[in-house]
Protein backbone atom coordinates (compact mmCIF):
# COMPACT_ATOMS: atom_id res chain seq x y z
CA UNK A 1 0.00 0.00 0.00
CA UNK A 2 1.21 3.51 -0.75
CA UNK A 3 0.38 6.77 0.97
CA UNK A 4 0.17 10.21 -0.64
CA UNK A 5 0.27 13.04 1.89
CA UNK A 6 -1.83 16.14 1.25
CA UNK A 7 -0.68 19.75 0.91
CA UNK A 8 2.39 20.50 3.09
CA UNK A 9 2.52 17.11 4.80
CA UNK A 10 5.53 14.78 4.66
CA UNK A 11 5.76 11.04 5.44
CA UNK A 12 8.94 10.04 7.28
CA UNK A 13 10.44 6.65 8.14
CA UNK A 14 12.09 7.03 11.54
CA UNK A 15 15.77 6.06 11.83
CA UNK A 16 16.38 2.83 13.77
CA UNK A 17 16.80 3.11 17.53
CA UNK A 18 20.31 2.82 18.91
CA UNK A 19 21.01 -0.53 20.58
CA UNK A 20 24.21 0.55 22.35
CA UNK A 21 25.63 3.81 23.66
CA UNK A 22 28.85 5.39 22.38
CA UNK A 23 30.61 3.75 25.33
CA UNK A 24 29.36 0.28 24.35
CA UNK A 25 26.60 -0.11 26.95
CA UNK A 26 23.70 -2.20 25.62
CA UNK A 27 20.37 -0.40 26.13
CA UNK A 28 17.19 -2.14 27.24
CA UNK A 29 13.89 -1.37 25.52
CA UNK A 30 12.81 1.13 28.20
CA UNK A 31 16.10 3.04 28.10
CA UNK A 32 16.11 3.60 24.34
CA UNK A 33 15.13 7.01 23.04
CA UNK A 34 13.29 7.25 19.77
CA UNK A 35 15.52 9.02 17.26
CA UNK A 36 14.38 12.39 15.94
CA UNK A 37 15.83 11.69 12.51
CA UNK A 38 14.45 9.87 9.53
CA UNK A 39 14.11 9.53 5.77
CA UNK A 40 11.41 11.29 3.76
CA UNK A 41 9.47 8.68 1.78
CA UNK A 42 6.61 10.83 0.43
CA UNK A 43 5.77 14.53 0.15
CA UNK A 44 2.56 16.44 -0.53
CA UNK A 45 1.87 18.74 -3.45
CA UNK A 46 2.77 21.94 -1.60
CA UNK A 47 1.48 24.53 0.83
CA UNK A 48 -1.61 26.38 -0.42
CA UNK A 49 -1.12 30.15 -0.32
CA UNK A 50 -3.83 32.79 0.10
CA UNK A 51 -3.52 33.59 -3.62
CA UNK A 52 -4.51 30.00 -4.47
CA UNK A 53 -1.04 29.05 -5.67
CA UNK A 54 0.98 26.17 -4.21
CA UNK A 55 4.40 26.76 -2.68
CA UNK A 56 6.65 23.76 -3.32
CA UNK A 57 8.04 21.97 -0.26
CA UNK A 58 11.68 22.38 0.75
CA UNK A 59 12.20 18.65 1.26
CA UNK A 60 12.02 15.83 -1.24
CA UNK A 61 11.82 12.05 -1.19
CA UNK A 62 15.09 10.52 0.05
CA UNK A 63 16.14 13.49 2.21
CA UNK A 64 17.45 12.69 5.70
CA UNK A 65 15.68 15.09 8.08
CA UNK A 66 15.65 16.13 11.73
CA UNK A 67 12.25 16.69 13.36
CA UNK A 68 10.80 17.40 16.78
CA UNK A 69 11.30 14.69 19.39
CA UNK A 70 7.57 14.48 20.11
CA UNK A 71 6.41 14.56 16.49
CA UNK A 72 5.24 10.94 16.55
CA UNK A 73 1.67 11.76 17.56
CA UNK A 74 0.74 11.17 13.91
CA UNK A 75 2.23 7.70 13.61
CA UNK A 76 0.55 5.30 11.22
CA UNK A 77 1.24 1.67 10.38
CA UNK A 78 1.36 0.72 6.72
CA UNK A 79 2.33 -2.81 5.68
CA UNK A 80 3.76 -3.48 9.16
CA UNK A 81 5.97 -0.39 9.15
CA UNK A 82 5.47 2.59 11.47
CA UNK A 83 5.60 5.90 9.58
CA UNK A 84 5.21 9.48 10.79
CA UNK A 85 3.13 12.12 9.02
CA UNK A 86 4.53 15.59 9.71
CA UNK A 87 3.76 19.08 8.57
CA UNK A 88 6.73 20.61 6.76
CA UNK A 89 6.93 23.12 9.63
CA UNK A 90 7.67 20.26 12.08
CA UNK A 91 10.91 19.48 10.23
CA UNK A 92 13.88 21.38 11.63
CA UNK A 93 16.42 20.65 8.92
CA UNK A 94 17.85 18.40 6.21
CA UNK A 95 21.05 16.44 6.92
CA UNK A 96 23.59 16.69 4.09
CA UNK A 97 25.96 13.76 3.74
Predicted confidence (pLDDT) per residue in 53-94, tens digit: 989 899 999 999 999 877 656 888 888 888 999 998 889 999
Residues 6+ apart with CB under 8 A from 95: 37, 63, 64, 65, 66
Q: Computed from CA positions of residues 40, 45, 50, 53, in that sequence, does the dihedral angle turn out positive or negative? A: positive
- Confidence (pLDDT) at 10: 93
Q: How far apart are CA 55 and CA 74, in angstroms?
A: 23
pLDDT-derived band at 12 (thresholds 50, 70, 90) equals: very high
Please report whether residue 72 resides in a domain: yes
Query: Does residue 3 form part of some domain?
Result: no
pLDDT at 41: 94
Could you give the number of structural domains in the chain?
1
Helix (H) or strand (E) holding 95: strand 91-95
Q: What is the CATH number of the domain that holds 80?
A: 2.30.33.40
Residue 22 lies in a domain: no
Domain that holds residue 41: 9-17+28-95
User: How much is the pLDDT for 35?
Assistant: 72
pLDDT score for 69: 77
Q: How many CB atoms lie within 10 A of CB 66?
A: 15
Amino acid sequence: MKIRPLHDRVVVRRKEEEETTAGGIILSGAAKEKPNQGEVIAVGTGKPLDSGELRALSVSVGDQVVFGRYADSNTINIDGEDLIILSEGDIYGVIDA
